Structure 1
């Protein structure tokens, strides 16, 4: 008995893992832009040809740099490669010593030198303190890792190694700051469904815990209705949500508007991350952060407006 040949390519779950593009994003692009154009297997499930997966990787890299899908999705592969060559240039911190430190850290990531990477990051944390470490080291390193991935100099396992080490160091450092549940404000940290990246939440917690804020993390991918009910019943002052560059901007804006309308008026809604760059004007009732170093000042402003004393 002959077995029907299966289409050559990847299922949608594998494409999501490989490119960082959410399944819903792939389906929306298919309907809206006519790309990608998956075939179907014997069960009617989408199968993405490998050439299309290669193009999706390039699109994701360009979108990470701020380009909009509608502007680039129908360009030929070589045009996308040319755009990557043009914009994917290394960033310079402006500080020769820091530039050298970052270059060493990226080398450790590429070579999978776990202990060297951990030790270098830990030394910078001890030298700078938690808040400066987040603003002056983690934030720019995130960009450098993204740039390296953009230029094809770093693969997904290396990116995961970097993220895991940073998260471990931040969690350990945050745990040394004892904050009681009676501290104010009480901040809920979470992400929307389909947003799996937790690093942004840890960076927020690291930036405001030393200021005496009480942070309660619900983890990632919390349904909006669960966020609303937890905020209303948990005596939270602020709900803080993070969006990585892989999250669709329009989906983030629509979700934030919906969440804001369902939250009690006295609860502030904060949001940030690469997906929201330039979106603040579309979210007038929400505090949108363009950079992590703006958080302490926003915390102080909240306390003044709420009549809460600095701890």
Structure 2
């Protein structure tokens, strides 16, 4: 089975606290008033998916994932096909968010009743990892999971560093980091560790990768490349994996990070004069939105700049957009890119 260019994203329940600020977009149908006619009752207040995300702190991609996986939140649709949600749904989502913060699993809380959620929110504390948990996994990933369960950042970082030095960056990403993240997701799903442990592991790995690729990128003399996530894409651990591979190939990485407006990517492409723009796309991303954004971005940036999409949900068949899903393919493609640039 081919290795994906980007490993598994953070589990889709994780809400990102870095939402951009803004006023809620409320969609409603005002009644017409006449002195001769009894006013029609107001329609219940409806919120767009973006407004719900801002109201609850739950990422748009997460709301869509829960809808597909659990059947909640179930939206109504406007005549134009857009999702809208009532206030009762928003109130339940606030309870779900609090239950997740208390350490409960998404598979448990999203389908639960409001009454049960109130019980959990009122009485639960974040759970520790189960003391009898069996982490059956090859070394060194098993020791990394144990360090995660113990919230031992020093041991986890030491384990990352040892394997990075022993097997090299590319094998570390393919054969160590990806299985580790998959195991963390599986152990969270069956209750052997909690939400806080998944967050802890993801953040430590992200920091470790950034500490390695940033100084390497700064020392390079090759072409500049931009790394960014499309708007509403907040899973950016995998973008750091991409930056590792590009830095190793000799590129200087301009890292724009998660949830980057297309106008900002366009402005970065004008200012940095990159040879390529790379975007990562997680499983939680909406396929139609991603395809539309890539088409628009391709039209916004100079046609001589490569536009590369990678990740489990990266669409294919878009004119002018290169799709790379395997890390080793990305490494080879990047090396050819740098060699071609230097020969010109």
Q: Report the TM-score when normalising by structure 2.
A: 0.62
1:308 correspondence with 2:335: no
CA pair 178-48 structure 1, distance change in 2 beyond 3 A: closer
SS at match of 2:75: helix
Could you list the per-position Cα deviations for residues 256-276 of structure 1 after superposition, in whole angstroms to 9, with x for gaps in the alignment?
111112221100011112332
C-alpha deviation, 1:51, in angstroms: 8.7
Q: Is the 8 A contact 1:188 1:231 kept in 2?
A: yes
Q: Which runs of 4+ in 1 moved over 4 A?
A: 11-16, 22-29, 36-39, 49-54, 178-182
Which residue pairs with 1:31 in the alignment?
A: 76
Count of residues in Structure 1 that have an aligned counterpart in Structure 2: 255
Q: Distance in 2 between matches of 1:25 and 1:224?
A: 26
Which has the larger helix fraction? 1
Q: Is the 8 A contact 1:12 1:48 kept in 2?
A: no
1:229 correspondence with 2:263: no
Q: Distance in 2 between matches of 1:168 and 1:227?
A: 23
What's the C-alpha RMSD, in Å, of the aligned pairs? 3.9
Which residue pairs with 1:107 in the alignment?
A: 146
Q: Distance in 1 between matches of 2:108 and 2:305?
A: 37
Which residue pairs with 1:68 in the alignment?
A: none
Q: Gaps spanning 5+ residues in structure 2: where?
A: 1-51, 111-135
Larger RCO: Structure 1 or Structure 2 (Cα < 8 Å, ≥ 6 residues apart)?
2
**1:91-130 matched pairs, under 5 angstroms:** 99-130=138-169
Q: Distance in 1 between matches of 2:214 and 2:84?
A: 47
Q: Distance in 2 between matches of 1:300 and 1:48?
A: 50
1:163 correspondence with 2:163: no
Could you list the per-position Cα deviations for residues 156-193 of structure 1 after superposition, in whole angstroms to 9, with x for gaps in the alignment?
21111111111221122224426457522x11011122
SS at match of 1:162: helix
Q: Distance in 1 between matches of 2:147 and 2:60?
A: 24
SS at match of 1:177: helix
Q: Distance in 1 between matches of 2:205 and 2:292?
A: 30
Match of 1:46 among 82, 90, 95: 90
Q: Is the 8 A contact 1:236 1:267 kept in 2?
A: yes
C-alpha deviation, 1:217, in angstroms: 0.6
C-alpha deviation, 1:239, in angstroms: 0.5
SS at match of 1:221: coil
Q: Is the 8 A contact 2:262 2:297 kept in 1?
A: yes
SS at match of 2:323: strand
1:298 correspondence with 2:337: no
Q: Is the 8 A contact 1:269 1:286 kept in 2?
A: yes
CA pair 188-28 structure 1, distance change in 2 beyond 3 A: farther
Q: Distance in 2 between matches of 1:103 and 1:203?
A: 21
Match of 1:21 among 36, 59, 62: 62
Q: Distance in 2 between matches of 1:172 and 1:40?
A: 43
C-alpha deviation, 1:127, in angstroms: 1.1
**1:48-87 matched pairs, under 5 angstroms:** 48=92, 57-58=106-107
Deviates more, 1:100-109 or 1:21-30: 21-30
Q: Is the 8 A contact 1:38 1:48 kept in 2?
A: no
Q: Report the TM-score when normalising by structure 1.
A: 0.68
Could you list the per-position Cα deviations for residues 238-259 of structure 1 after superposition, in whole angstroms to 9, with x for gaps in the alignment?
1011122222222212211111
Q: Distance in 1 between matches of 2:230 and 2:272?
A: 18
Q: Gaps spanning 5+ residues in structure 1: where?
A: 1-10, 62-95
Could you list the per-position Cα deviations for residues 73-105 of structure 1 after superposition, in whole angstroms to 9, with x for gaps in the alignment?
xxxxxxxxxxxxxxxxxxxxxxx9x81321221
Which residue pairs with 1:149 in the alignment?
A: 188
